[in-house]
Structure 1
Amino acid sequence: MQTQTVTTPFGRRPMSLGMIASQVTAQNAPEGTTVHKWHVFRDIKEARIALGATDRALAILDALLSFHPETAFYGDSALIVWPSNEQLIGRANGMSPATLRRHLANLVECGLIVRRDSPNGKRYARKGQGGEVEQAYGFDLSPIVARAVEFKALAEAMRAEKKAYKVVKERLTIARRDIVKMIEAGIEEGVPGNWGSVHIEYQAIIGRLPRTAPRQVLEAVAAELDDLWQQIREVLESFVKSTNLNANESQTERHIQNSKTETKIESGSGVGPKVEASGSAGESDNVRSLPKRELPLSIVLDACPNVLWMVKGSGGIRSWRDFLAAVETVRPVMGISPSAWEDARVALGEQQAAITLAAIYQKGDQIKSPGGYLRNLTDRAKEAKFSVWPMIMALVRAELDAGKALKLDTGEVHGDQHGAERVIRTEQRLEVSDALRKTMAKWDKES
């Protein structure tokens, strides 16, 4: 078949340098090259995004390929098809004529087909006496052969990109899961560390992750999570090693003590009775001697003013409901796990647990592991060895002592005037017994 090269489209459709480049590429298809049209079409689908082709355009290309009777395309064969718009619409899932024209233009722009328009814009073929096609006007499928190698390379690159994207997504998922669970483990096991700050750092990293992000962004976030994962892992492993070492030493000490033949401890009046007198019995007596009434909210706020920072600008804390809401905000900042908080609420009651948490928050600089500290207090509360009264009174007296010390040094109270006023108000509200003062002093020593 002899074909005349048509370089410009019919009608008002403009010509572009991209169309000329596509036509040149189609004319330069290597002779003797043979490709399987459906294999090439599969590669084109894989590389659709890189080529800039739409999914509807590929549906039209699929229809165009079906109009050519041969499955194998040759570099030196005629690859022009001339279906009407009605025929294309029938094979392209019934899309509208306007949609058909728009996506045909997309195929031309991507260089997947070349227009061979007739003088009047119609698509047809002129045949000779023997029935052989001499001239055809329609869509040239030569780029399928000419760019087959390029399409395959693009498809392989896209498959590699999809695999890399999937790998980094899996990496992100595992890193996020590991970090969250390791933080929870550190809090649950009482590992020393500022787990609240670690959790905030983790949230900051995750916060930079958009809903849909390219692989490069995911790689950067994954690298940051890997660094944080490594830091947490090192802390936990160091704690495990030190704990095992201490456990081994304790076992050795117990073995040495148990191997002694002397029975001074058993026969004397020493350790056993002393532990009972100064430990469970004494603590239980002190707790029973504490006031049975609930702590007023005003005294709790005087003792724990730091919790007010969490409700700044919202009207302050005016009721126990406001106080509980503020403590719920404080808890994750302190790195206390939900399970530790739930255990405390069950053992102490919701209000007493909230007061305990506020007191721990007030003494944050002195407590390395708030979660472990809360669990210890919870265990003591289960044995009736803990009350919030001495804890709050110790904080009140600490403010009073600080105010008195400042006044002795300077003769005046400036910066801590409000704190001193809170202490005076608190003393006026309470009648502190001698037993309670002794318990407060003991609490100060223990804390």
Structure 2
Amino acid sequence: MTQRLATTPFGRRPMTLGMISSQVTARAVPKDATVHKWHVFQDIKDARIALGATDRALAILDALLSFHPDTALSGDSELIVWPSNDQLIRRANGMPPTTLRRHLAVLVECGLIIRRDSPNGKRFARKGQGGEIEQAYGFDISPIIARAEEFKDLAEAVRSEKKAFRLVKERLTICRRDIAKMINAGIEEGVPANWGRVQHAYQAIVGQIPRTAPRQTLEAIAEELEGLWAEVREALESFVKTQKVDAIESGNGRHIQNSKPDSKFESESGLRDEEEAGGNVADTDNVRSLPKRELPLGIVLDACPDTLWLVKGGGGIRNWREFLAAAEVARPTMGISPSAWEEARTAMGEQQAAITIAAIYQRQDQINSAGGYLRSLTDRAKAGKFSVWPMVMALLRAKLEASKAAGNGAETAAVDLETAGKVVRTESRLEISDALRRSLNKPGRGS
């Protein structure tokens, strides 16, 4: 083949500096360079977005490469193909002529092919006497060799970015799943923590995730989620470790005994009547003797049955989450301010504060100031002098005493037996100190 003469496009198509740059790159191809055309084409497909090529343009490039008989392209071989538009349309799966022309121009703009137009714009090859091609007009695919390393580097960068994006998406998915389920487990198992705050923080972070976002944005959000994940995990693990220690101590019979079993809390000024009505007069040291385990939900509902009235639709309370929702409904009905409620949740833990609200709601007709009473109990909780165990036990005993006073019929006797059985079973599970049991057994306690 003789020298290439055509360097500008035929017809109205203008010459651009990009075309000149492609031609310069093509002339710089080493004669000994050899590439596998389909391997390079795969790199081009992977780097398609970085190159600015379209899917249709790549379909046309695939067809153009198929017109070259060799799989291995070398720098010293003939690299011009001259298929007609009809031939290209057939190999491009019936692409419309206007679409074909538009995406051929895209290939030229991306520097993937070079136009070698004849004087009349036709594509053909002129052969000599020996059958060798002397001059060819069509599409020069020499950029496939000249830019092979560039395409490979771009493809590797795109693959690495896709992998990093996939990994950060996986991190986000796993973090979201873990945090949501750990929060549910913490609420269901009664782990002491401000789960309302944790849920709010989780929703705030998740709300930042856009529908489409670059990897860097997702990386920042994933780091925030992982920080919250570590916080929730630490709360659950600390609770599990505490439970194991308590179980070991309970199995060995090592209980903290009260050195002053008859000492009582001093009632806060103006709130003595409310404390006695709620059954919360407890010994300071007896609070330390209480087990660290959480109260079973069934026992709490037996002691505070009025809480069931707060459930929407009149259904029952099946788990701690529904119990916490009922407590949220009870709080404003008793005139307890949001600040008092938040302070109680911080000092006691969300579940313990909800049990306290339910107990106050159960005896609200005997309490003058529910908000002041809750603040008093919150102060005691901050000092480590408050537990919901004696409060719930007192309500159960009050329920038993009330059933005894109602009459001696068979139905009343059955209620007595059931309530007394629950109290006995609960106390047998508590493994509390003798001093606390004597305090709970005092006549008139909790009435």
User: If the length of structure 2 is used for normalisation, what is the TM-score?
Assistant: 0.64
Contact 1:34/1:75, CA 8 A, preserved across alignment:
yes
Q: Structure 2: which amino acid aligns with 1:390?
A: R
Q: 1:366 aligns with which of 344, 353, 356?
A: 344
Q: Shift of the alpha carbon at 1:374?
A: 4.6
Asked whether the equivalents of residues 330 and 357 of structure 2 are also in contact (C-alpha less than 8 Å), the reply is: no
Code of the aligned partner of 1:146: A
For 1:260-299, list aligned pairs within 5 A.
none
Give the fraction of aligned pairs with identical amino acids, expressed as a percent.
Answer: 60
Cα pair 1:117 1:137 within 8 Å, conserved: yes
Deviation per CA, 1:308-363, whole angstroms, max 9, x where unpaired?
xxxxxxxxxxxx9xx959xxxxxxxxxxx994244789xxxx8x995479668865
1:30-429 equivalent positions in 2, closer than 5 A? 30-254=30-254, 324=312, 339-342=319-322, 354-355=329-330, 364=341, 365-367=343-345, 368-371=348-351, 374=354, 388-391=361-364, 394=367, 397-398=369-370
Change (3 A) 1:358 1:173: farther
CA distance in 2, matches of 1:6, 1:141: 15
Asked whether the 8 Å contact 1:340–1:374 carries over to 2, the reply is no
- Residue pair 2:323, 2:354 contacting (<8 A) in 1 also: no
> Could you tell me how far apart the structure 1 residues matched to 2:371 and 2:172 are?
47
Please state how far the C-alpha of 1:212 moved relative to its aligned partner. 1.6
RMSD: 3.9
Q: Is the 8 A contact 1:83 1:138 kept in 2?
A: yes
Matched, 1:22 2:2: no
- Structure 2 counterpart SS, 1:188: helix
Q: 1:69, CA displacement in angstroms?
A: 1.1
* Unaligned residue ranges in structure 2 (runs of 5+): 258-298, 375-401, 403-439
1:377 CA displacement: 8.6
Query: In the superposition, relative to structure 1, how do residues 7 and 374 fare at CA in structure 2: closer, same or farther (>3 Å)?
Result: same
Code of the residue aligned with 1:204 in structure 2: it is A
**What is the number of equivalent residue pairs in this alignment?**
328
- Deviation at residue 42 of structure 1 after TM alignment: 1.1
CA distance in 2, matches of 1:376, 1:397: 14
Q: How far off is 1:14 after superposition?
A: 1.6
Q: Please state whether the residue corresponding to 1:44 is helix, strand or coil.
A: helix
Task: Give the alignment's TM-score, normalised by structure 1.
Answer: 0.64
Contact 1:188 1:371 in 2 (8 A): no
SS in 1 for 2:252: helix
Are the counterparts in 2 of residues 37 and 144 from structure 1 also a CA contact under 8 Å? yes
Q: CA, structure 1 residues 397+92, in 2 after alignment: closer, same or farther (shift >3 Å)?
A: same
One-letter amino acid of the structure 2 residue matched with residue 366 of structure 1: A
Contact 2:192 2:351 in 1 (8 A): no
How many angstroms does 1:392 deviate by?
6.6
The answer for unaligned runs of 5 or more in structure 1 is 258-282, 296-319, 326-336, 379-385, 403-434, 436-441
Secondary structure in 2 aligned to 1:179? helix
Q: Which has the higher helix share?
A: 1
- Assess if the C-alpha contact under 8 Å between 1:287 and 1:387 holds in 2: no
The SS at the match of 1:69 is coil
Contact conserved, 1:189 with 1:372, CA < 8 A, in 2? no
Q: Quick one: distance in 2 between partners of 1:5 and 1:159?
A: 39
Aligned residue type for 1:397: S
Tell me how far 1:3 sits from its aligned partner: 3.2
In the alignment, the residues of structure 1 paired with residue 187 and residue 362 of structure 2 have an alpha-carbon distance, to the nearest angstrom, of 26
Question: What is the deviation of 1:240?
Answer: 2.2
Residue 219 to residue 8, structure 1, CA distance change in 2 (3 Å)? same
Write out per-residue CA displacement over residues 347-396 of structure 1, whole angstroms, 9 at most, x where no aligned residue: xxx8x995479668865222333345557999xxxxxxx794424763x5
Question: Residues of 1 paired with 2:181 and 2:160: CA distance?
Answer: 32
C-alpha spacing 1:93/1:339, structure 2 compared with 1 (3 Å): farther
Aligned amino acid, residue 113 of structure 1 = I
Q: Secondary structure at the match of 1:253?
A: coil
